């Protein structure tokens, strides 16, 4: 098994049972190529860590943000979404220690980011089992909740599609439409460029690995454009 002392320093967490941390880094595919590996894959730890993460973030938001339920839900979703967690996996060094099959190592960026996000949840599950809820909560606040100010500043918690539709109908009595301007890539690694229109006028463009993601980005750009006119 790997020497994980450098990762422990980055996580700021010294494990009593280092096998828990090691297991959190084992993707199912790795065991297909290493059948004698002594540990299981990380999916059960991921299941546990997902619940701990949601509770910790929910608790923090409830205590610190006196907002309606819907806004709190959107904020939480923006902080714990896969895109955010995969970035965190790279920042704290989890990516360097992941055990993957050769196929997954050479897979698409979208697939890899999904694996990275799951690994962060698995590490949280490992911390919870090894150190208890308080240490897991401290880690989540230090590494994940710390992203909240940037999320708020960029408006990443806003459902841009719904908000833009409300404004467009209020100001122009027009319902926005979306059009796929281009798409490329293989079926498992698609990239979409979507335009948002009021009538024939294009109000914004967004790119993403799904149509929904591209639509949200296009709507966010359109929102900024409308708000500048106010």
Q: Domain extents for the chain? A: 5-154, 160-229
Q: What is the CA radius of gyration of the chain?
A: 20
Q: How many CB atoms lie within 10 A of CB 65?
A: 13
| Cβ–Cβ under 8 Å, residues 43 and 75 | no
- Residue 50 annotated in active site: yes
What local confidence, expressed as pLDDT, does residue 210 receive? 85
What are 180-214's pLDDT values in tens digits?
999 988 776 788 999 999 999 999 999 988 888 89
pTM: 0.76
Q: Tell me which of 9 and 163 has the higher pLDDT.
A: 9
Choose, from 121, 130, 137, 156, the residue flagged as catalytic.
Answer: 121
Confidence tier at 97 by pLDDT (50, 70, 90)? very high
Q: Which helix (H) or strand (E) holds 89?
A: helix 82-91
Nearest to 167 by CA among 117, 220, 223: 223
User: Hey, what CATH topology would domain 5-154 get?
Assistant: Ribonuclease iii, N-terminal Endonuclease Domain; Chain A (1.10.1520)
Our answer to whether residue 3 is catalytic in this structure is no
Tell me the CATH number for domain 160-229.
3.30.160.20
Catalytic residue among 50, 95, 130, 137: 50
């Amino acid at each position: 098994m790997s020497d994980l002392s450098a990762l422990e320093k980055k996580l700021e967490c010294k494990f009593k049972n280092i096998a828990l941390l090691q297991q959190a880094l084992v993707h199912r595919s790795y065991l297909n190529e290493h059948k004698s590996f002594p540990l299981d894959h990380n999916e059960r730890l991921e299941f546990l860590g997902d619940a701990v993460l949601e509770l910790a973030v929910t608790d923090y938001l409830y205590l610190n943000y006196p907002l309606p339920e819907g806004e709190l839900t959107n904020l939480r979703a923006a902080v714990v979404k896969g895109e955010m967690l995969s970035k965190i996996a790279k920042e704290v060094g989890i990516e360097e220690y992941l055990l993957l099959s050769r196929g997954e190592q050479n897979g698409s960026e979208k697939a890899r980011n999904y694996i990275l996000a799951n690994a962060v949840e698995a590490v949280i599950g490992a911390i919870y089992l090894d150190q208890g809820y308080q240490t897991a909560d401290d880690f989540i606040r230090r590494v994940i909740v710390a992203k909240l100010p940037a999320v708020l500043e960029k408006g990443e918690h806003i459902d841009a599609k719904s908000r833009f539709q409300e404004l467009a109908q209020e100001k122009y009595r027009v319902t926005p439409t979306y059009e796929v301007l281009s798409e490329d890539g293989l079926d498992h690694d698609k990239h979409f460029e979507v335009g948002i229109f009021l009538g024939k006028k294009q109000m914004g463009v967004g790119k993403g690995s799904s149509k929904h993601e591209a639509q949200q980005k296009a709507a966010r750009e359109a929102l900024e454009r409308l708000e500048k006119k106010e």
